[in-house]
Amino acid sequence: MTAPTPHSALGQTEQRPAGIVTRSLAAGIDLAVVIVVCSVAYLGLALARLAWAPTSFTWPDVPFLASVAFAFAFAVLYLTIGWVTTGRSYGGYVMGLRVLTNGHRMLRWAQSFLRAVFCVFFPVGLAWVIFSPKRRSLQDVVLRTTVVYDWHVVADS
């Protein structure tokens, strides 16, 4: 069997929808990735200031809203790229999850971006998984996606 192309249907056995615990753990891992990247960016800014003027160095005073905007923008970019390329963020990879369309196809750029925006700005939508018979979040319902258990790693061709 050859590896599927990024936008073809995944030719594997039936995949079960992921539950709230696994999806919450994956989201927590993704949040940790965003926090680490934002922290490294801040330290990089501080290092640049130190290198530029070592005798008058002070820690950067980044406005709170700028920090939040950077974190949200990075989170949306990070999730969009992960979902459109492999169907997984790092949290999804660790927890064995994949985001697909309802037709079990890979997401395209627009759908992936909209889902990322929805997940970052309305994370409580994940709680709908508890009430949904098909284990779908509000993001999944609105954007016609599903999150499935999928430990299969698609080999690079």
Structure tokens at 146: 């599903």
Type and span of the H or E element at 51: helix 20-52
Give the DSSP letter string of 126-140. GGGGGT-TT---HHH
Write phi, then psi, for 59 (nearest 5 degrees). -65, 140
From first to last of the 157 residues of the chain, give the pLDDT tens digit: 444 444 444 444 458 999 999 999 999 999 999 999 999 999 999 999 999 998 999 999 999 999 999 999 999 999 999 999 999 999 999 999 999 999 999 999 999 999 999 999 999 999 999 999 999 999 999 999 999 998 865 554 4
Q: How far apart are CA 84 and CA 12, in angstroms?
A: 19
Closest among 36, 136, 23, 132 to 88, alpha carbons compared: 23
| Secondary structure class of 55 (helix, strand, coil) | helix
Using an 8 Å Cβ cutoff, are 83 and 112 in contact?
Answer: yes
The pTM of the full predicted model, rounded to 2 decimals, is 0.83
Q: How far apart are CA 116 and CA 51, in angstroms?
A: 36
